[in-house]
C-alpha cells in the first residue's frame, strides 16, 4: 500500500505504522492496525474512534469496546449496518494484545472490537484480526483485572476518553 510506505535514499523502504491511541480512564493504549490485511476493518475502527463511538466491558479472556449503545449489542459500522469479514488465516489469537472484531457470526462486523488478555485459539477463522497492542500492555492488564458485576460490566466506570 503506497500510503503506508516512506521511501528513503539507497532504495530502502520503511513501513510506517498505522497507530491509534486509545486514552482510557486507566491509561493509554497504542494499537497498531494491520491495514494491509484488513483495510475496511481498520478504516471502520479508525473512523469510529475519531467519532468517539466507544465504551468498554469485559469478558474472561478479553476487553471489549466499541459499543456506543451501552447495551452490549454494539452499533453500526461506518459503512451503515454490518460489513464482511477480512480474515487472514496467518493471523491468529495467539496471546494477549490481539485486536480483533467482535461479531455475532460470519460477516456481521459493526462497531465492537476486543483486545485479548490470553490466547483464544477458538476465535481463529471466526473474527477478523486487524491489529495488536503496540504499547500499553500494562494498561490492558489493569483493565483486565477490574472487578466486574452483572453482564461482565466493570463495577467502577471505565471509559475510552478519546482516541
- pLDDT (tens digit per residue) in 32-72: 999 999 999 999 998 888 877 656 555 557 888 877 766 66
Alpha-carbon distance of 21 to 162, in angstroms, equals 8
Q: Which distant-in-sequence residues (6+ apart) come within 8 Å of 98 by Cβ?
A: 115, 116, 120, 129, 132
Q: Which residue has the cell 480483533?
A: 100
26-42 pLDDT, tens digit each? 899 999 999 999 999 99
5-26 pLDDT, tens digit each? 444 445 554 456 789 998 888 8
What pLDDT, on the 0 to 100 scale, is given for residue 7?
42
Closest among 149, 154, 113, 122 to 31, alpha carbons compared: 113
Amino acid at each position: 500500500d503506497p500510503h503506508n510506505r516512506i521511501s528513503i535514499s539507497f532504495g530502502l523502504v520503511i513501513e510506517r505504522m498505522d497507530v491509534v491511541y486509545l486514552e482510557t480512564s486507566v491509561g493509554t493504549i497504542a494499537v497498531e492496525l494491520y491495514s494491509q490485511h484488513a483495510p475496511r476493518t481498520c478504516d471502520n475502527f479508525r473512523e469510529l474512534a475519531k467519532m468517539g463511538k466507544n465504551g468498554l466491558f469485559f469478558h474472561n479472556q478479553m476487553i471489549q469496546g466499541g459499543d456506543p449503545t451501552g447495551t452490549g449489542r454494539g452499533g453500526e459500522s461506518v459503512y451503515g449496518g454490518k460489513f464482511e469479514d477480512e480474515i487472514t488465516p496467518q493471523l491468529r489469537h495467539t496471546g494477549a494484545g490481539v485486536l480483533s472484531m467482535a461479531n455475532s457470526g460470519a460477516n456481521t462486523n459493526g462497531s465492537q472490537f476486543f483486545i485479548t488478555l490470553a490466547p483464544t485459539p477458538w476465535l481463529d477463522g471466526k473474527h477478523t484480526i486487524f491489529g495488536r497492542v503496540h504499547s500499553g500492555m500494562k494498561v490492558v492488564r489493569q483493565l483486565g483485572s477490574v472487578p466486574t458485576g452483572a453482564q461482565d460490566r466493570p463495577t467502577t466506570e471505565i471509559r475510552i476518553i478519546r482516541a
